[in-house]
């Protein structure tokens, strides 16, 4: 676990401001119009938005999510290691691959969680104490329906001015996802007393439980060793 300890030491600051959740509406009927319900047994999407520890933890506590794996997306395979990604020059973002059952949780509901409690989509190439393009806000979609709804929802949220600034989330089709090193998986669950986790990630889980209780699960679905 030495590598994980180094990571926390690099990015945690006692003076950093903890994240705040923003209550936002779910995608409207207009945003959903013409988008057929999924007929797949499972779907996958990759979300990026700051350190993957917190994003993973939020979706591991989401009903209907079958697996949430920390990893890297947006760059090249040869650069998909933490030591290179952390420098910010690989093109990769720290990201989480979310596999879910669309009969239990819709993609629209996952988007609401992502934009409201999982991260702040108005921060460009950073997320609170973590700075660099590897911490950018991005959605890597796997179906045309996901892409269309994400575009519509971002436009809807911007038009409603639910955030004090414009959403800067990047949107693109997923080309590849590379799982992160073992010590990064389930990190928030395994290290709840770590200063970084306590300050930045546990509040996200608490916000999910408070703001979207029907989507919250107390027992996280963890990545198997």
Is the pLDDT confidence value at 17 over 60?
Answer: no
Q: How confident is the model at residue 4 (pLDDT cuts 50, 70, 90)?
A: very low
List helix spans (H) across 129-196.
144-160, 187-190, 195-196
Give pLDDT, residue 11.
44
The whole-chain average pLDDT of the chain stands at 92
Fold of 40-215: 3.30.1060
Tokens of 43: 């779907």
Is the pLDDT confidence value at 214 over 90?
Answer: yes
- Each residue of 145-174: pLDDT tens digit? 999 999 999 999 999 999 999 999 999 999
Is the pLDDT confidence value at 189 over 90?
Answer: yes
Distances (CA, A) of 152 to 30, 35, 75, 95, 204: 9, 11, 26, 22, 25
With a CB cutoff of 8 Å and minimum separation 6, the contacts of 167 are: 115, 121, 122, 137, 154, 157, 158
Beta bridge partners of 140: 46, 172
Q: How far apart (Å, rounded) are the C-alpha atoms in residues 53 and 116?
A: 17
Q: Count of CB atoms within 10 A of residue 98's CB?
A: 27
Q: How far apart (Å, rounded) are the C-alpha atoms in residues 55 and 166?
A: 21
53, 187 contact by CB (below 8 A) = yes
Is the pLDDT confidence value at 3 over 90?
Answer: no
Is the pLDDT confidence value at 135 over 60?
Answer: yes
3 state DSSP class of 144: helix
Q: Which of 12-16, 57-61, 107-111 has the lowest mean pLDDT?
A: 12-16
Beta bridge partners of 138: 48, 170
Q: How confident is the model at residue 225 (pLDDT cuts 50, 70, 90)?
A: confident
Q: How far apart (Å, rounded) are the C-alpha atoms in residues 144 and 141?
A: 8
- Each residue of 77-97: pLDDT tens digit? 999 999 999 999 999 999 999
Is the pLDDT confidence value at 7 over 50?
Answer: no
Q: Is 99 a catalytic residue?
A: no
How large is the average pLDDT for residues 7-30? Answer: 70
- E strand spans, the chain: 43-49, 65-73, 93-100, 126-127, 130-131, 137-141, 170-173, 177-179
Q: Which of 7, 46, 48, 51 is catalytic?
A: 51
Q: How far apart (Å, rounded) are the C-alpha atoms in residues 86 and 209?
A: 31
Is the pLDDT confidence value at 181 over 60?
Answer: yes
Distances (CA, A) of 192 to 41, 188, 200: 33, 6, 11
Q: Count of CB atoms within 10 A of residue 197's CB?
A: 23
Specify the pairing of strand 177-179 against strand 170-173.
unpaired
How large is the average pLDDT for residues 188-207? Answer: 97
Beta bridge partners of 43: 100
Q: How confident is the model at residue 14 (pLDDT cuts 50, 70, 90)?
A: low
Give pLDDT, residue 20.
80
């Amino acid at each position: 676990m030495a590598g994980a300890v180094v990571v926390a030491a690099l990015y945690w600051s006692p003076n950093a401001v903890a994240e705040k959740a923003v209550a936002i509406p779910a995608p409207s009927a207009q945003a959903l119009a013409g988008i057929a319900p999924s007929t797949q047994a499972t779907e996958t999407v990759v979300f990026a938005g700051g350190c993957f520890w917190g994003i993973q933890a939020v979706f591991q506590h989401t009903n209907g999510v079958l697996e949430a794996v920390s990893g890297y997306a947006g760059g090249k395979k040869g650069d998909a290691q933490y030591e290179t990604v952390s420098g910010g020059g690989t093109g990769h973002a720290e990201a989480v691959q979310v596999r879910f059952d669309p009969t239990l949780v819709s993609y629209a509901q996952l988007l609401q969680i992502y934009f409201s409690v999982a991260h702040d989509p108005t921060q460009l190439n950073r997320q609170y104490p973590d700075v660099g393009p590897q911490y950018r806000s991005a959605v890597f979609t796997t179906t045309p329906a996901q892409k269309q709804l994400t575009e519509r929802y971002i436009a809807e949220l911007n038009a409603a001015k639910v955030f004090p600034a414009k959403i800067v989330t990047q949107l693109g089709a997923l080309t590849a996802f590379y799982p992160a090193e073992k010590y990064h998986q389930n990190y928030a669950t395994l290290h709840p007393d770590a200063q970084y986790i306590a300050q930045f990630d546990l509040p996200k889980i608490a916000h999910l439980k408070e703001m979207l209780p029907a989507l919250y699960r107390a027992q996280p679905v963890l990545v198997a060793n």
